[in-house]
């Protein structure tokens, strides 16, 4: 049975009030009342229109392993000392065998008010799960969404590398960021543990400190390199020959030594960080000398990384110089890639596109993993029914009113193949059918109505837990592909980085009437004098 | 031997390039070169002037448990397939027994360019530690700093509760946030697991969903409550008597039932969330009826929580109503507390102070734990010496130039008892002494010099690791007190939320000359034509 990736994910990873409420329910004999909760958000992050739902696999692992251990119970007795001993016995017997969870598939593009999870089960246990489910879904979905936005901004042809571990919010922030950035569309991570845990590609070469540890060529213990055919060949001499020939006597010698040492260690993986001293005067010339000598031994140099300065300008300059030297010496440098890093965010990606650049790959850290533009997603977990009585949460803000009762969700695809809208219906209502007209209403605004004829209807809710797991774990690369496919099936104007067109989330006529009936019944009529 | 709190903190929680660099060093026989790295930041977070250093205990636990397991090595062989088998044997033999770490104590107020950690040891292992150390220090220090700023904004007399788990960046983001918010000055957390792991106070009562599960008084299975003296007494009837007497027939009956049930479960811990339906018309009246009946049975009601609306106005109104009813019925409500929550951040705390409010306690989540105002601290890890050769990292930006060589740090206290400045010296230089004048220089600006006569000199660097742990783990409450004490010893203008006075971090005359000598020697003189 797979455990949560992080062993800190267990029944105590919750707010104390979940346990005090459980005690209050238990004291009143209501712990087994049939409850339904919806987990959803009200506003997509980053002023965008969509969110990528993520975190489901970890939710299922939590449900599978959910127990209060003897050790945890002992601790709870100290924190909840007024509670009766029988309560702790009951708590020790709790599990999720009576819980049922419906969910949209991991990686689904989702919109405000859609229940991402619908949790049905005994009141106390369904309530106890709240905080942990939110913790597992909120950040996962936020990062996956951020990554998808970075992917949209960079374009499909760029390599995107996640480099955020050192600035992540805690170790698990880093691990989660690496997985969910990959799901959202990144190609690889620098995070080795994430690579191991999730079987996702890892990448990396060297840092400035590596370059700085070398001062001169005399520090190199070996001057040779084994060529593609397995013969030991002189390597430093040809590098220096190229350096003379190209007229680069001034390049930093320590940097050159560090590049040679790196190429000796990874002849087929030579990617050089070129900005430690001076990108144009030293880094790129040193890269070229080593790259040319590598080609002579049968290896393809991989490329360079820029980590400071004007990335658009420097990448264009770098490309011009590399191409020019290739032309001069009749070498094919067309597969040499330029990687850029240094505090890149979505705005910078968009701005680089406007300026024109020659970057093939981006290494992105801080702003991706901490979601600088909005560091939290506001998923909430609301009671929508108790003992088959629908519950509505009223609020002065219309956007905060909950849609009562258990609901199913359908995505309606139009004749162009794009998603037209999402339709919420009461569970048990017949699903809309392709080719048949259906009236879709705005949940709160009486006058907003639209009739659609679906070409295709996708049922978004699946039962993923029914006392036990009912779906197999999905491979991260398949979820990633699913995200990619949906981005293709979504109108560009919904995906736009700035001022996207709102995507409609509608309710059926029956749900509309039900919602408004309950709203009218519950809303107090105030009196003015 | 205590392990890292999060089992994901291990030798693989690092960037791949640390391992590829290690291979390049090892291939060149340089893995044991003597290296010194500084871990420091260049700019305090939140446009402030100070940072609270945190994460040291977890750093020490990492160092203690640092090993590559057979399983990890097998994985690395797949990722680093070009590397020679002997490299992996060497990796499997690695540990931190040759590493020495100097650190400022956990909880110290720190400033730009001060080495928070100085790591000395064989090049490869000292380099391999980089990412993990940064991950453990960056977020820990960021949250501790954020918490300290919230504390400064709220004032010393307010109760501060951390409620952020559900919005934290991953499960460990939540666990770390709870600990480091406590260190920075919060009083308690809602996070039960953090309470257990770190022995810090946990708090919590109930949520809106709890209130909503009740519809009427008929749902209450019991109408009695055991009083302070152990006698079973009628409870619902007196509550309803007060309701009639005070003229509150309109309050929401489900809410009243939920309050009664909660008081029955926790008669000595009755704190009611009053804004589910209508704070003034329903929540506070219902609270008062239950509170009065509790007093009659010998219990002190704890208070109310406001979670929406205009917190300044509502808290003042609530206090007025509660006091008025107390006066009317001759009951002492002076210890009833008002807790406020709902998207509170530092600016809102400052603004509430300006408006005037009656809040005694704040529950703060999202903006505290995700550090909304700046979600990452930019600590870096830079090579400052190799084989006893000092290394300087030059940059076009003066702020990015590193101060070469191993250094010690002294905090100079002036005659008012406040910290005057921090002084960096070369290791081995004599420490400044109380009563003796010392010249302190700006590291980069020749003309900025000051002579100080310390009243007290605090040596900030301690050896915390010398192949093994050299200091015992500190209790979180003692670190918290240390933070508090330092905030008292720091001039208010350095702590100001907006536009604080810069705090001087100086270098000794000897370090100044050394730095500038090396800078001149390494900086290229460019030629113009």
Q: Is the pLDDT of residue B324 over 90?
A: yes
Cα A358 from Cα A360, distance rounded (Å): 7
User: B13 and A174: CB-CB below 8 Å?
Assistant: yes
Q: Is the pLDDT of residue A529 over 70?
A: no
Among A27, A177, A190, the residue with its CB nearest the CB of B17 is A190
Neighbour-count burial of B354, counting CB atoms closer than 10 A to its CB (0-12 exposed, 13-18 middle, 19+ buried)? exposed
Per DSSP, A184 falls in state H
* Helix-helix angle B284-296:B253-265, to 10 degrees: 40
Between residues 243 and 262 of chain A, which touch chain B (CB distance below 8 Å)? 261-262
Identify which has the larger pLDDT, B1 or B250: B250
**Residues B115/B41, Cβ–Cβ less than 8 Å:** no
Say which residue the tokens 């977990």 belong to: A381
Q: A457 is written with which tokens?
A: 């209807």
Look at residue A172 in the predicted model and tell me its pLDDT: 85
Per-residue pLDDT, averaged over A58-82, amounts to 96
User: B169 and A139: CB-CB below 8 Å?
Assistant: yes
Percent of chain A at pLDDT exceeding 90:
93
Q: A259 is written with which tokens?
A: 């590049």
Between residues 182 and 221 of chain B, which touch chain A (CB distance below 8 Å)? 190-193, 195-196, 202-210, 212-213, 215, 219-221
Percent of chain A at pLDDT exceeding 70:
99
User: A210 and B123: CB-CB below 8 Å?
Assistant: no
Question: A237-244 long-range CB contacts below 8 Å, 24 or more apart?
Answer: A238/A292, A238/A293, A238/A296, A239/A289, A239/A290, A239/A292, A239/A293, A240/A289, A242/A288, A242/A289, A242/A292, A242/A293, A243/A285, A243/A286, A243/A289
Instruction: Output the CA–CA distances (angstroms, integers) from residue B7 to B11, B15, B61, B172, in the order listed.
Output: 11, 17, 11, 10
Look at residue B529 in the predicted model and tell me its pLDDT: 63
Read off the pTM. Answer: 0.96
Closest to A452 (Cα-Cα) out of A422, A408, A494, A495: A422
Over B135-168, what HEC string results?
HHHHHHHHHHHHHHHHHHHHCCCCEEEECCHHHC
Closest to A54 (Cα-Cα) out of A68, A39, A43: A39
**Residues A326/A332, Cβ–Cβ less than 8 Å:** yes
Residues in chain A closer than 8 A to B262 (CB atoms):
24
Among B123, B213, B381, the residue with its CB nearest the CB of A213 is B123
Identify the bridge partners of residue B12 per DSSP, sorted by sequence position. none
pLDDT one-digit tens code per residue, A115-139: 999 999 999 999 999 999 999 999 9
Cα B413 from Cα B488, distance rounded (Å): 13
Q: Is residue A360 part of a domain?
A: yes
Taking CA atoms, what residue in B is nearest to A382?
A: B209
Q: Beta strands B224-226 and B232-234: pairing type?
A: antiparallel
Q: Is residue A491 part of a domain?
A: no
Cα B293 from Cα B239, distance rounded (Å): 6
Distant-in-sequence, close-in-space partners of B363: CB < 8 Å, separation ≥ 6: B161, B163, B190, B305, B339, B340, B341, B344
Using DSSP, state whether A70 is helix, strand or coil: helix
pLDDT one-digit tens code per residue, B187-237: 999 999 999 999 999 999 899 999 999 999 999 999 999 999 999 999 999
User: A394 and B163: CB-CB below 8 Å?
Assistant: no
Per-residue pLDDT, averaged over A196-206, amounts to 94
**Residues B95/B122, Cβ–Cβ less than 8 Å:** no
For chain A, the average pLDDT equals 95
Structural domains in chain B (count) = 1
Model confidence at B172, in pLDDT bands (50, 70, 90)? Answer: confident
Distant-in-sequence, close-in-space partners of A27: CB < 8 Å, separation ≥ 6: A84, A87, B261, B264, B265
Lowest-pLDDT choice from A29-33, A101-105, A459-463, A525-529: A525-529
Cα A190 from Cα A162, distance rounded (Å): 6
pLDDT one-digit tens code per residue, A204-250: 989 999 999 999 999 999 999 999 999 999 999 999 999 999 999 88
Cα A460 from Cα A105, distance rounded (Å): 7
Distant-in-sequence, close-in-space partners of A264: CB < 8 Å, separation ≥ 6: A220, A222, A225, A235, B24, B27, B28
Q: Is the pLDDT of residue B252 over 80?
A: yes
Q: Is the pLDDT of residue A188 over 80?
A: yes
Look at residue A520 in the predicted model and tell me its pLDDT: 87
Residues in chain A closer than 8 A to B162 (CB atoms):
none
User: B266 and A370: CB-CB below 8 Å?
Assistant: no
Q: Is A373 on the interface with B (CB under 8 A)?
A: no
Residues in chain A closer than 8 A to B370 (CB atoms):
169, 370, 375-376
Cα B47 from Cα B59, distance rounded (Å): 27
Look at residue A522 in the predicted model and tell me its pLDDT: 79
Q: Is the pLDDT of residue A400 over 90?
A: no
User: B170 and A130: CB-CB below 8 Å?
Assistant: no
pLDDT one-digit tens code per residue, B2-11: 899 999 999 9
Cα atoms in the Cβ-side hemisphere of radius 13 Å centred on A226:
5
Model confidence at A454, in pLDDT bands (50, 70, 90)? Answer: very high
Q: What is the DSSP string of B57-82?
A: HHHHHHHHH----HHHHHHHHHHTTT
Look at residue A249 in the predicted model and tell me its pLDDT: 85
Q: B276 is written with which tokens?
A: 């589910």
Q: What is the DSSP string of B219-250?
A: G-S--EEE-TTS-EEE-HHHHHHHHHHHT-TT
**Residues A49/A492, Cβ–Cβ less than 8 Å:** no
pLDDT one-digit tens code per residue, A412-422: 999 999 999 99
Using DSSP, state whether A121 is helix, strand or coil: strand
Identify the bridge partners of residue B379 per DSSP, sorted by sequence position. none
Q: Is the pLDDT of residue B524 over 80?
A: no
For chain B, the average pLDDT equals 95
Q: Is the pLDDT of residue A396 over 80?
A: no
Residues in chain A closer than 8 A to B210 (CB atoms):
21, 24, 127
Q: B125 is written with which tokens?
A: 């292992």
Q: How far is A501 from chain B (nearest CA, A)?
A: 27
Number of A–B residue contacts, CB under 8 Å: 348
pLDDT one-digit tens code per residue, B474-522: 999 999 999 999 999 999 999 999 999 999 999 999 999 999 999 888 7
Q: Is the pLDDT of residue B345 over 70?
A: yes
Whole-complex ipTM: 0.94
**Residues B383/A213, Cβ–Cβ less than 8 Å:** yes
Cα atoms in the Cβ-side hemisphere of radius 13 Å centred on B58:
30
Q: Is residue B432 part of a domain?
A: no
Q: Is A77 on the interface with B (CB under 8 A)?
A: no
Q: Is residue B211 part of a domain?
A: yes
Per-residue pLDDT, averaged over B31-53, amounts to 97
Closest to A37 (Cα-Cα) out of A460, A395, A406, A392: A406
Look at residue B505 in the predicted model and tell me its pLDDT: 97
Between residues 55 and 74 of chain A, which touch chain B (CB distance below 8 Å)? 72
Look at residue B447 in the predicted model and tell me its pLDDT: 94
Identify the bridge partners of residue B37 per DSSP, sorted by sequence position. B119, B383
Q: Which of B11, B144, B164, B192 to mutate to test the interface with A (most CBs of A within 10 A)?
A: B192
Q: Is residue B391 part of a domain?
A: no
SS3 content of chain A, % helix, strand, coil (to 5): 40, 20, 40
Q: Is residue A203 part of a domain?
A: yes
User: B175 and A8: CB-CB below 8 Å?
Assistant: yes
pLDDT one-digit tens code per residue, B413-433: 999 999 999 999 999 999 999
| Largest pairwise CA distance in chain B | 99
Distant-in-sequence, close-in-space partners of B313: CB < 8 Å, separation ≥ 6: none
Percent of chain B at pLDDT exceeding 90:
93
Give how far the C-alpha of residue A509 lies from the chain's centroid of Cα atoms, to the nearest Å: 35
User: A376 and B167: CB-CB below 8 Å?
Assistant: yes
**Residues A79/A87, Cβ–Cβ less than 8 Å:** no
Taking CA atoms, what residue in B is nearest to A73?
A: B196
Distant-in-sequence, close-in-space partners of B472: CB < 8 Å, separation ≥ 6: none
Cα B191 from Cα B176, distance rounded (Å): 10
Instruction: Detail the DSSP E strand segments found in A401-499.
Output: 407-413, 419-426, 438-441, 449-452, 456-459, 462-466
Q: Is residue A35 part of a domain?
A: no
User: A169 and B176: CB-CB below 8 Å?
Assistant: yes
Q: Is B273 on the interface with A (CB under 8 A)?
A: no
Q: Which domain holds residue A204?
A: 146-369
Cα B261 from Cα B274, distance rounded (Å): 15
User: Domain holding A163: CATH number?
Assistant: 3.20.20.70
CB atoms within 10 A of CB B101: 27
Q: B274 is written with which tokens?
A: 């009053």
Using DSSP, state whether B205 is helix, strand or coil: coil
- Residue-wise burial string across A198-230, b where 16 or more C-beta atoms lie within 10 A, e elsewhere: bebebbbbbbbbbbbbbbebebbeeeebebeee
Neighbour-count burial of A525, counting CB atoms closer than 10 A to its CB (0-12 exposed, 13-18 middle, 19+ buried)? exposed
Instruction: Output the CA–CA distances (angstroms, integers) from residue B437 to A143, A514, B408, B416, B512, in the order listed.
Output: 53, 81, 18, 16, 17
Per-residue pLDDT, averaged over B294-315, amounts to 96
pLDDT one-digit tens code per residue, A18-40: 999 999 999 999 999 999 999 99
Look at residue B397 in the predicted model and tell me its pLDDT: 76
Q: Is the pLDDT of residue B53 over 90?
A: yes
Specify the DSSP element, H or E, that contains B119. Answer: strand B117-122
Q: A424 is written with which tokens?
A: 């919420």
Residues in chain A closer than 8 A to B267 (CB atoms):
82
């Amino acid at each position: 049975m797979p455990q949560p990736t992080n062993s800190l994910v267990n029944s105590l990873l919750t707010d104390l009030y979940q346990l005090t409420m459980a005690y209050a329910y238990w004291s009143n004999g209501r712990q087994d009342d049939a409850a339904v909760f919806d987990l959803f958000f009200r506003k997509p992050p980053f002023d965008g229109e969509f969110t990528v739902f993520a975190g489901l696999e970890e939710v299922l692992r939590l449900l599978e392993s959910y127990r209060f251990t003897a050790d945890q119970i002992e601790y709870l007795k100290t924190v909840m000392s007024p509670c009766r001993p029988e309560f702790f016995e009951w708590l020790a017997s709790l599990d999720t065998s009576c819980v049922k969870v419906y969910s949209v598939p991991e990686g689904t593009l989702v919109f405000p008010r859609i229940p991402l999870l619908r949790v049905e089960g005994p009141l106390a246990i369904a309530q106890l799960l709240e905080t942990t489910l939110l913790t597992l879904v909120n950040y996962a979905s936020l990062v996956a969404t951020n990554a998808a936005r970075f992917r949209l901004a960079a374009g499909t042809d760029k390599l995107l590398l996640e480099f955020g571990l050192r600035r992540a919010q805690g170790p698990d922030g880093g691990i989660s960021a690496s997985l969910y950035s990959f799901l959202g569309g990144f190609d690889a991570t620098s995070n080795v543990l994430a690579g191991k845990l999730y079987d996702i590609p890892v990448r990396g070469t060297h840092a400035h400190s590596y370059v700085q540890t070398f001062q001169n060529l005399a520090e190199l213990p070996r001057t040779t390199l084994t060529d593609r055919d397995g013969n030991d060949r002189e390597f430093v001499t040809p590098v220096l020959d190229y350096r003379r020939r190209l007229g680069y006597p001034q390049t930093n010698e320590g940097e050159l030594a560090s590049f040679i040492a790196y190429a000796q260690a990874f002849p087929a993986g030579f990617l050089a960080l070129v900005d430690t001293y001076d990108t144009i005067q030293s880094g790129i010339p040193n890269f070229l000398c080593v790259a040319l000598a590598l080609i002579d031994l049968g290896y393809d140099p991989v490329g360079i990384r820029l980590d400071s300065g004007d990335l658009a300008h420097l990448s264009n300059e770098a490309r011009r110089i590399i191409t020019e030297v290739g032309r001069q010496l009749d070498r094919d440098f067309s597969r040499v890639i330029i990687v850029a890093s240094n505090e890149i965010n979505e705005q910078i990606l968009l701005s680089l596109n406007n300026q024109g650049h020659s970057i093939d790959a981006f290494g992105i850290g801080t702003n991706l993993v901490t979601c600088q533009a909005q560091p939290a997603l506001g998923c909430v977990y609301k009671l929508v029914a108790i003992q088959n009585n629908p519950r509505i949460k009223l609020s002065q803000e219309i956007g905060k009113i909950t849609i009562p009762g258990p609901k199913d969700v359908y995505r309606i695809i139009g004749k162009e193949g794009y998603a037209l809208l999402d339709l919420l219906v009461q569970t048990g209502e017949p699903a809309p059918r392709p080719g048949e007209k259906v009236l879709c209403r705005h949940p709160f605004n009486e006058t907003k109505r639209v009739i659609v004829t679906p070409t295709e209807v996708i049922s978004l809710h699946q039962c993923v837990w029914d006392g036990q797991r009912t779906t197999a774990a999905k491979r991260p690369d398949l979820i990633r592909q699913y995200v990619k496919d949906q981005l293709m099936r979504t109108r560009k104007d919904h995906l736009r980085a700035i001022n996207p067109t709102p995507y409609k989330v509608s309710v059926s006529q029956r749900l509309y009437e039900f919602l408004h009936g309950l709203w009218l019944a519950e809303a107090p009529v105030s009196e003015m004098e």
